[in-house]
Each structure stands twice: as C-alpha cells, then as structure tokens.
A and B are shown apart, each in its own frame.
Chain A
Amino acid sequence: MDGIELMAGAMHAAQARLDVSASNLANVSSNGFRRRVAHATLSARGLAVSTTTAPEQGPLERTGRAFDLSAIGGGFAVRGAHGSVGYERSASFTLDANRHLIDERGNLLLDARGGLLRGGAGATIDPLGVVRGDGEPLGRLRLSSGTRIASGFLERSNVDAIHEMVDVLSAQRAFETAEKTLSAVDETRAKNVNDVARVKG
C-alpha cells in the first residue's frame, strides 16, 4: 500500500466519522435514540470504519401519560407495520380504534403471549410490565429479560451536542490533514518524475 492509497483511506474514514456525527446531531430530539459511535481500525488494507450503538441510557423525561413507556435495561416487544416483531426502548403509545396500543412509528404493543395488548382509559403499568385497568389485570408486556418498565416517562436522545460538535470538528481536521499529506506525497512523486529523473543536458 502506498502513501496516496493510505491517505485516501484516511479521508474516507474521516468522512465516515462525519457521517456518524452529523446523523447523531440530527437525532438530538429523537426520543429513545442512542448515539452511534464510529471506530477506525488500521489493517494492512488501510483504515476501516465500523459503527456501534452507545449503550448508555438517555435521560428519562416525565410526561405523566401512562402509555409513555421507557424500558430500563432492555426493551419491550412491539409488532411493526409489516408484522415483524422487535424490541423498543422508549415510545409513546395511544389507543387506536380497536383499543390496541400504537406508537408514533406505527408499531403495536405486544403482550406476554404474543398477542396485541388492549388498553383502556385510566390504565396503569407497573415496573414488571403488568397492565391494570381499574385494578383489574388487562395483560402483561412482553419484555426482554431483566427489563424494568418506567410508565409515564420517555427516554430522551442520549446525544450530547457538544461531544458531537467536537467530533465534527476533529473529523474535518483529520480530513484536512490526510488531504495535505496526500498532496505532499503527490508533490514528492511529481519531483521524482519531473526533476530527479531529468537528464542534464
């Protein structure tokens, strides 16, 4: 691998870091969002960037609505618009016309047996996910193991705008550094080709 390829790889890596930071910044107001983290690894084939999701919980904001749910340390099961089952960390559910619980992304809340949970006015949800309406159990949320439910809370995005701004800056500077180095390598080669090899006549 030569200098130009290496530096081109470094420029790609800086661009990938900026992509991640810019998307994190864009999601500073998305409830339940967890920031993505870019990792660069150097190998014989140059720099490669992979991304993971930061695990730390975002701040919980009290809303007081029973069906604003946040999972602490796991997730609760929902059925997506195309029938696929997934787990969510935080969502705001309202009753739909069939008294099922639907969130703003169109996901339906599942009960422990895999059916759709039905809610009612004045329902409460305890930390273990048991839903009660007027004291009578209505069902139980399907939770991943070890999950506790905070009813009446939404998890805010865990993006720290200052941290992301610093990342944007540092990605930009890393890009510039790589570009300068690439240009220097290019100029050295230009000298090799045009000056060193010139036959004095």
Chain B
Amino acid sequence: MNRALYAAATGMSAQQQTLDVVADNLANADVVGFKRATATFAALGADLGTIATGVRRTFEQGKLERSGGPFDVAVDGAGFFTVERDGQRAYTRAGSFARAADGTMQNAEGWRLEGVRIPAGANKIEVAADGSVRVEIAGGEQRDAGRIRLTNFAAPERLRSIGSAMFAATRECGAPVTLAAGRANGPKIAFGMLEHANVSIVEAMMAILAAQRAYEANAKGVQAADEMQRIANNLHRG
C-alpha cells in the first residue's frame, strides 16, 4: 500500500486548512471585536499523516481605541456584551451600538444590547466603568437608562461563532455567568472606545508563508510517492 501518498496528502489538506483560517483572520483584521482563530492538528495513527483537531479561537484582549461614536463601548477585561435579536441571545465583544427608534441600543445587524433603554429626547449619553448608563434629557435633567451587563463563560473557547464577532452559547462552554463590571481587578466598560480585532497582520503574513512552504513540501512528498509507484509499475517490461 502506498501509505506515503496518503500521509503527504493529509499534510497538504492540513496546510490548506491553516491557510483558510489565517485568511479568515486577515479578512477580519478590521472587524471590531473579532477574535483570531488557529487550526490545530494531531498525528494520525503510526506514520499515517495528520488530522485536524479543530479550530480554536483566542479570546485575548484586542487593543482599545477611542472611536468618538456616540454610543461606542468596549470591554476592558473578561466578558461579553449580551445582545438579543428575534428572541435569540448572543454574546459579543463588538460594542458599536446606535439608538434605534424604540429606544434600545442596536448594532448594525440589529442585535439589541440587553438592559439599556434610552428615553426619547436624550441628547447626552454617559456610560460609567461599571456599565451604568445615564442620559441627559432636555432641560439638563439626568436620568438613569439602565446598565450594561457582562456575561462570561467557563470555556469561552467553546462558544459557537455566528458571525464575524458574534457568539452563541453551546452545551460545552458552561452556563453563562453575569460579571459585575467596574470592580478592582475586574473587567471595566470603556465608553467612547472600540476593541480592535486581536489579529496581528505581521504574524498572519508569517503564518501564510510558513503554511505555503509546508504545503509545497507535502506536495513534493506526494510527487515522490507517485514517482516510486511509477517506477514499480515499470518493473515488468514483458
């Protein structure tokens, strides 16, 4: 049996998968709240090549940058914003929201931030580090407009991706835990800031180069296995 041919082919498909994941990271390098992913592999049996063991997301903090949006928020620390759309709940680190007609804060895809409702006529919004939202309405009156709550999971790596920066809970990630923001050593809400993707363009480019070379090396393995098969077939010249 020509095991080398199949082993080298598993290597080619592994590098292809790495390229797919890195390309996706690069494509989302400017998406607010995006978390980079890595494809992982393990050896397959004895000298039979490699097998993909999954794609793991790294929830490392992205850089916070002042954005100047009227209701931009970012999480400085652990946790996710809890959002809801059509009765479905999701979790995100992307805090680019705007006031919708019904007073709720929504992002561009129509996900509503839970726990916050901005009264009509509010002209100035202020979010404290603990997530409490205060608005100023006509006449300078201050009003409480709710509180942003953060949610975290025992295993955020096992959340399911449902968009570039949107995640849904799964059975494996553990029950959602509400986090209190604004405490010492705890997460804080940064108002007027957005969290960048935690993708490093340079690292991604290096990963692409490495994957390309490894792909070529495995392709040579396929060629060598094929060439040996050809020679073996020519043994019998009649």
List the interface of chain A (C-beta within 8 A of B).
11, 14-15, 18-23, 25-33, 36, 51, 63-65, 92, 94-97, 99, 104-105, 121, 161, 164-165, 168-169, 171-172, 175-176, 179, 182-183
21 pairs, A vs B, C-beta closer than 8 Å? A14-B228, A18-B224, A20-B47, A22-B8, A22-B11, A25-B7, A25-B11, A25-B218, A25-B221, A26-B49, A26-B221, A27-B41, A29-B39, A30-B41, A94-B158, A95-B155, A96-B174, A97-B171, A97-B175, A104-B56, A121-B78
Q: Is the CB of B11 within 8 A of A27?
A: yes
Inter-chain CA distance A30–B39, complex, in Å, is 10
Q: Is the CB of A27 within 8 A of B50?
A: yes
A25, A64, A169 interface centre (most CB from chain B within 10 Å): A25
The residues of B that contact A104 with a CB separation of less than 8 Å are 40, 42, 53-54, 56
Q: Is the CB of A171 within 8 A of B42?
A: no
Task: Report B144-184 CB contacts with A as 1/0, cut-off 8 Å.
Answer: 00000000101101100000000000011111000000000
List the interface of chain B (C-beta within 8 A of A).
2-5, 7-8, 10-11, 14-15, 18, 39-43, 46-50, 53-54, 56, 58, 60, 78, 152, 154-155, 157-158, 171-175, 211, 213-214, 217-218, 220-222, 224-225, 227-228, 231-232, 234-235
Inter-chain CA distance A179–B230, complex, in Å, is 11
Inter-chain CA distance A36–B45, complex, in Å, is 12
Q: Is the CB of B225 within 8 A of A18?
A: yes
Choose one: A23, A65, A161, A168; the contact of B213 (CB below 8 Å). Answer: A161
Q: Is the CB of B228 within 8 A of A172?
A: yes
Q: Is the CB of A26 within 8 A of B10?
A: yes
Choose one: A14, A25, A33; the contact of B217 (CB below 8 Å). Answer: A25
Instruction: Beyond the given A15-B4, A33-B50, A164-B217, please list 12 additional residue pairs across the A-B interface where CB-CB is below 8 A.
Output: A22-B5, A22-B218, A23-B43, A26-B7, A28-B214, A29-B211, A32-B42, A63-B58, A94-B157, A104-B54, A169-B224, A175-B228
The residues of A that contact B175 with a CB separation of less than 8 Å are 97
Minimum CB–CB distance for B48 against chain A, Å: 6
The residues of A that contact B43 with a CB separation of less than 8 Å are 23, 27, 30, 33
The residues of B that contact A25 with a CB separation of less than 8 Å are 7-8, 11, 214, 217-218, 221
Q: Is the CB of B56 within 8 A of A175?
A: no
Q: Is the CB of A97 within 8 A of B154?
A: yes
Q: Is the CB of B50 within 8 A of A175?
A: no
Inter-chain CA distance A96–B234, complex, in Å, is 55
